[in-house]
Every structure is written in structure tokens, then in C-alpha cells.
Structure 1
Amino acid sequence: MCSSSLQEIQIDSYTLSYEPADGTGTPNNLDPAPAADVTSTTVSGLLPYTSYILTLNSTDQGRQNGHTIGTFKTESAISDLTLDGGGMDQLVVSWGKAQGSQISRYSLSYKPVDGTGSYRDRELDPPAADATSATVSGLLPGISYTITLTSFQPLGNAGRRKRSEQDRKNGVITRTFRTESAVVNVECAEGIMTIAIPRVALPGVDVDSMHLLNASCVATVDDDFVTMETRLEECGTRRQISGEDKFIFSNEAIADEVIDGSGAVIHQGVSLPFQCEFLRQFDITQGGDIMFVIPPPR
């Protein structure tokens, strides 16, 4: 059997140094240093949203008897990105700012969650430096978008430096929000089909040129809706028999793609199928009265 005794470790002083983890600064010693009898301390005056390397040394009678290193990141200058409103083509978001934070500018980017599009920065209309809300418009209905807000803080003595060198990132927040789904109204009346599409559900589409399968059947456009109407035997409407007692009539609301001379797409194309279903005959309990007669095919 072996036995031994450990002498109690004595600490008579600490030193604590810190520096940005990206190497852009030199180490600084915390002044005053932590007292010999403490087990925690606060390092203040740091930059937000920045990783720092902290090095703690302990000594006993002038001889180092402890050494530890850790990397920690300060909090973002902005937080709590929330959805305040929206619609089929836009999202209204707001956020909070840390007390005392300095913000010189923002950038706001967004893209569909399903990966069908790349990030788009609202550089032409970024949120103002003192803003706490913004509207992201020109979106598609019923789509989830990832929104990323980045804040920057000014650097001293900017002088004639480029904009990208006059400030540094001090906050990033990312959240996912979904636009409202578009409600397309299809009305099936006796002998007539009508489709009404909200204009906000057709971003980037030349709505004035929309038509049905027969291009001569053009849309009626107002401030809110794009409307197309056809009789069941007109405008290229297709007729299909389903089972023994049902007729299905279908057509499409079409917008042609518009391309300029250089091959760039000016207006995107779209094709929205719609249909109406009718019972050939509906028997009433008292007899076999026909409630609705489908017009004969031509």
C-alpha cells in the first residue's frame, strides 16, 4: 500500500490577457488583474460579435503554477428577429439592438428555403442605420424564406477608406418566415368558367398579356386581380368524362415568357391549370329530374 499527501495549491496573483481570435489585435492585460481569492471576473470594452482568446495565468510567490486558455464570442449587437406582418408578396420584420451598440449600416438578404433561388441583398434599399424594422417585398406567395440581417459598426478615422473598410460586422441574425398562400378563385357557373388570380401572386409576370389556351381569350386586369372567363366549349377548354356521371372541363391561365434582344428574361412565364367538375345528372328523391344539362360537345 502506498500513501501520499498533496500540498494545498496556493495562488497569490492572476494575470488575464485577451485578444481577438482573428489576429487583428494585440494581447491586452486586464487591469486591474483578478484578485487572488476570486474565481470569476469580467472583461469589458470588447467588440460585439467577435471571438476572443482569453489566457489566464496563476502564480505563487512569483512562480507560475497554472495556465488555461479559452476562446469565447461576444453577443451580437442585434437580436430577436421577428415577423410583424406580411402578405402574399412581402414580409415585415423587426429586431432589437443591444444597449449602447453603434450601427453604421445594415444589409438584409433573403432566399427561398427550398434552395430554388440565391441570396438577394436589398442593397438598393437597405434598412437605415437607426431602423429596427424593414419590409422585404417582391416575394412569392406560400413560400418559406430564410432572412439574414447583418449589422456593421463604424471604425474610427475612416478618412478616405473604401466603404467596406470603414466599418466592421458586429451582428448577424437569421430566421425563417413564410409568406401567405395565394387564394385563386375559380367559379363554375352554368356553361361558364371563371378564374381570378391576385396580382400579388404574379410577381415578375406580364399580366396584361395573360390568356387562356386559346391566345385570343385574353385576361381582364385591374389593380387587384387578373380575371379570365370562358364558356365550356370555347377558348381551348378541354372536356373529359370521369366515371358515368361526371364531366370535367379544364383550361389554363397562361403568361408567356418575355425575353429581350440580349436573351435576358424580362417577364417570367407561368401556366396555371384550373378545372370545373359537373354532374351529368342529379336524381331527386321524388323522381329523376335533371338539374343541370351539360351542353353538347362541338
Structure 2
Amino acid sequence: MALRHPERPPWLKVRFPAGGNYERIRVLMREQELNTVCEEARCPNIGDCWSRGTATFMILGDTCTRSCGFCAVKTGRPGTLDREEPRRVALAIQRLGLRHAVITSVNRDERADGGAGIFAETIEWSRRLSPDTTFEVLIPDFKGDWAALRTVLGARPEILNHNTETVPRLYSVVRPQARYERSLELLWTARELDPGTLTKSGLMVGLGETSAELLTVFRDLRDSAVDILTVGQYLQPTPGHLPVARYWTPEEFEELKTAAIAMGFKHVECGPLVRSSYHAEEQVAGAHPGLSPRADEPRIMPLAGGHGGSPGIP
């Protein structure tokens, strides 16, 4: 008997990608030979975001060294690094006139620094061409290499994002090559290295987690000094990916948001279509209304040993 999946509810309907801005961004990405997580991860918000003139750049190629059960980005052995990619991303950001740019990547576990140097070069190039733009990076865990994290922070992004994605119980099937404790430690270490950088993390619901498990993760993230939280509904990108266990209702998302705000997050985005970089500029304003490109004085602290005793991290 074939396994029946829950029917997608009406609040998850999205409009078909179209419009002048959508086409302009699509053409620009092809001209500059760039990848976007919007396309590679089959994001349901691509029509909305691109029509508003925003996109999330995906650097370090289009092939990931990990095989997460939820992600549509292809897995395999990546090619050589494209050393011109940082400059082309910077040109695209300049041409789009972005006030806030989001830069993410595939995992490059075969690289000694996990690709951290390319992250830094991309931010540095982009600041030269777009000095009034703020920058957000959505980074992998670098296999716990905090020197690589320091490299990224050295380029001084305004926001450092690393997604925990799901609850610890589900990591073995959702993120089999990741560790929950490592992700928490990364977020805490980022705060130790640069207390002036906003930190952010996101989760999906609909993979079989419980409300109690989600609230425990929220508390762990607050104990790790995370400022911004995003929570959205998981959608199965292809039949070969993890199935949706259930669809959470808008009312349940509101309950999660209320609980998260009470824990002290500076900003919370919680809803069926919320994604980590969806309406990212609005998230920045919510967490830090006065945020603007930073001055040139150094702010990165020396790399400390351990995690500084963050509760919830073994």
C-alpha cells in the first residue's frame, strides 16, 4: 500500500514566479554565472523575493559535500573553487542596488577552511562596490574549525547566521553529517569572537518534532546568545527527500512566536512560508533598528578556548 502524504493546505499556496524584477534577476544571475539558494533549494518564495528585487547568493559552487535529507541542492564531489566568484557576486549586488545582501554556500568539507576564505573575499569585494549595503552570511559549521569562523567574522558581516534546522532527536536523518552541539557552539563562539555581530538561526517544522522539543531548542539558542530566530514549514522538494510528517497551522506558528519572544530573542520570524533569508532586511531592522555599515575599527576578539560555559553545550 502506497504511503499517503498529508495534502498541502491552502495557506502554503504561492504565486508563480513572474514579473520584470524576477526576469531581471534571473538574467543577471546567468550573465554573472552565479548560483542562488532560491533556485538550487527550490524555495517557494522565489517569486515574491525576486519580484521585490532581492535574492540570496550561493557561493562555493552548486555541489554540496553533505547529504541532508531535506535539501534539494545536489550532493557530490565539488569542482575547483572559482576565484572570480567573489567579484562577480559583488558586481551583482551593486547592479541590484541591494541595501541588505544575504550570502550562503554549499558545504565544502574537502577544503581545509571549508570555503571560509571565499566568504571573506565576497564580503570584502562587495563592501568596496556597495559601501552602504549591510551583509548577512548563512554559513556551514566548518566541521568545528573556529579559525575558519574567525576568517568569516574578520570580514565583518553585520549578521552571522547558522541554521540548527531541526531538533536533536531528528539529526541522524535530517542532518546526518552535522551535530546539534557543534551548531550551538558555533553560534556561541561567534558571539565571543565579535560581540557586535548579530547572530541568527533557523528551524523547520513538519519533520516529526514536537512543540516541547522546539521550545527546548529555542532555549538552547537563547543560551547561546542568538539574537534572531526564524521558523518555517518544511516542504518536500522531491519524492526522494524526507516526507512531510504534518503541516503546522498558522495558529501554531503564532504560539511558537509568542513563546520565542518571551524568551528574549531580539526578533522572531515564524510562519508557514518563513525561510532563513525571507524578508531578511526586515529581520535586521527588527533586531537592530539603527544598524548601518560599521566603521573600520577592529572588533574581533581573540579566539577563546571552549565555548565560555554556554548552558546547554556539553
Q: TM-score, normalised by structure 2?
A: 0.18
Structure with greater helix percent:
2
Higher relative contact order (CA 8 A, sep 6+): 2
